[in-house]
Structure 1
């Protein structure tokens, strides 16, 4: 079978494209497996890489923040609750008027955005979205499972107001708060707006946000395959939880919230799991059943 003269250029183009695609795949695999890319935090991203990532970040935040209904910030206690939460949770990485970030934050790659820049460049909706959702691969955690809606908006209100504060103003406000309160052993259950997710979906997200994957291999949760604790695939079919508790929903919730009260010798720490989150996590874990042959 011969190829007509008219079709030959098309065949050549297709063959060339296929060859380039294969070369790209092989080159990408070699790039990854030969360790060509230097992951050292002492070696900064090149400016083109940084520019592309920063543009993608800004566009992603802007698009998703558009869906948020921002309430009037005047209704939030930025001088009290907002300032206190920012001092206790944010200033370490982002600084504040006249206050530098902690030393560890200055060595992060990318360096966390300065508070002054966020106050000037970000809208209230964008700030809230970032606080609520966090940013992948940046060190910025999502606070959805740690702060209430009211608290997050109070932090947003403080950040926006901080653009008008001098270093002296800030120090006076911080002094009026008194000493930081010690962190409680268990987090207070934040009041969250309904997202329309099922308990199983909320539980999957909670399992991720409480860092369970750092010790357990969990179906459906992306992360390094860790074997510090037992894998959780098929946990719904097991007769006992940690070998000591009958595997019921009530016992699973109890175990997730206070593992060492059940077994003082357990290496599993208390993570401050709230009642609501434990219930959702138990719903998710109940879906992890062994597949029948």
Structure 2
């Protein structure tokens, strides 16, 4: 009996100690954060241990989440030229290519976008597909699944697997041979849900200008709040506030009101349908 009580006391003390360490760590982190001592400048590199932990976390996360992806026969469904069209349009600016330097955008980021010649050679096709489709949070790597079709994504993977074995001359020849190839956009939007609507708003950076009900984002007022949107009578003071008119507005606001500050964001209609449905049905 006494042994059991002593064992429970030991577990209690260990638990209290662990909780105390977590609280102290959180408090120390809060002090560093609120004091401004931690530099957020992109000119100051990470600690070596920070970089390694983030890199290791990325590999484990991708391995876990890409586990269920079935890799198709890339010889059948993929086209290296189409993959390069997607890569040239969306990836080359940050990652470069054989004999092609990154744009200043890609050179000035921290962490610096990796050279895909090594990653593409070492990573399995499923992992490359997952990262290309889903992106990498807080790294500057976007999710391309809402701008590139699934076949286009697999074609991009096929190009990535071929790229490490290209010379600069071979890559220039590939670039020169590009005539009609374009990067195919998605044929449709994902099924409607609140979560998918939130993803869509983030993919077009709507939450950087508007407060959107139910979403976590900056407290910004560049544009009007979109909360309780369905209660409004007009869109931009021009169109009656209906679902169809809202889709038209999201797709081409400058065509409807040339004086609006809202830019055309190249929103495809199926994505606009999903966003409009959320705004017209939510009470937030």
TM exceeds 0.5? Answer: yes
Cα distance in 2, alignment partners of residues 35 and 211 from structure 1 = 27
Cα distance in 1, alignment partners of residues 85 and 21 from structure 2 = 56
CA gap 1:215/1:87 in 2 versus in 1, 3 angstroms: same
Residue 184 of structure 1: aligned partner:
none
Equivalent position to 1:221, from 207, 215, 219? 215
Residue 261 of structure 1: aligned partner:
255
CA gap 1:245/1:116 in 2 versus in 1, 3 angstroms: same
Residue 236 of structure 2: aligned partner:
242
Q: CA deviation at 1:165?
A: 1.5
Q: CA deviation at 1:77?
A: 5.0
Residue 82 of structure 1: aligned partner:
83
Cα distance in 2, alignment partners of residues 180 and 218 from structure 1 = 37
CA gap 1:158/1:14 in 2 versus in 1, 3 angstroms: closer
Q: CA deviation at 1:16?
A: 5.1
Unpaired segments ≥5 residues, structure 1: 182-186
Residue 39 of structure 1: aligned partner:
40
Deviations 1:79-105 (A, max 9, x none): 421222222221221122222222331
TM-score of the superposition, structure 2-length normalised?
Answer: 0.88
Deviations 1:104-155 (A, max 9, x none): 3122111111121122121111111111111111111111121111111111
For the residue of structure 1 that corresponds to 2:40, the secondary structure is coil
Paired residues for 1:87-236 under 5 Å = 87-177=88-178, 190-191=186-187, 197-236=191-230
Cα distance in 1, alignment partners of residues 30 and 249 from structure 2 = 43
Task: Confirm or deny: 8 A CA contact 1:208 1:221 kept in the other structure.
Answer: no
Residue 57 of structure 1: aligned partner:
58
Cα distance in 1, alignment partners of residues 21 and 278 from structure 2 = 44
CA gap 1:262/1:118 in 2 versus in 1, 3 angstroms: same
Compute the RMSD of aligned alpha carbons.
2.7
Cα distance in 2, alignment partners of residues 18 and 156 from structure 1 = 45
Equivalent position to 1:287, from 255, 278, 281? 281
Task: Confirm or deny: 8 A CA contact 1:200 1:283 kept in the other structure.
Answer: no
Task: Confirm or deny: 8 A CA contact 1:216 1:227 kept in the other structure.
Answer: yes
Q: How many residues align?
A: 279
CA gap 1:243/1:10 in 2 versus in 1, 3 angstroms: same
Unpaired segments ≥5 residues, structure 2: none
Task: Confirm or deny: 8 A CA contact 2:83 2:152 kept in the other structure.
Answer: yes
Task: Confirm or deny: 8 A CA contact 1:215 1:227 kept in the other structure.
Answer: yes
For the residue of structure 1 that corresponds to 2:101, the secondary structure is coil
Q: CA deviation at 1:36?
A: 1.9
Q: Does 41-50 or 68-77 show the bigger shift? A: 68-77
Q: Does 129-138 or 219-228 show the bigger shift? A: 219-228
Cα distance in 2, alignment partners of residues 125 and 8 from structure 1 = 49
Q: CA deviation at 1:11?
A: 7.6
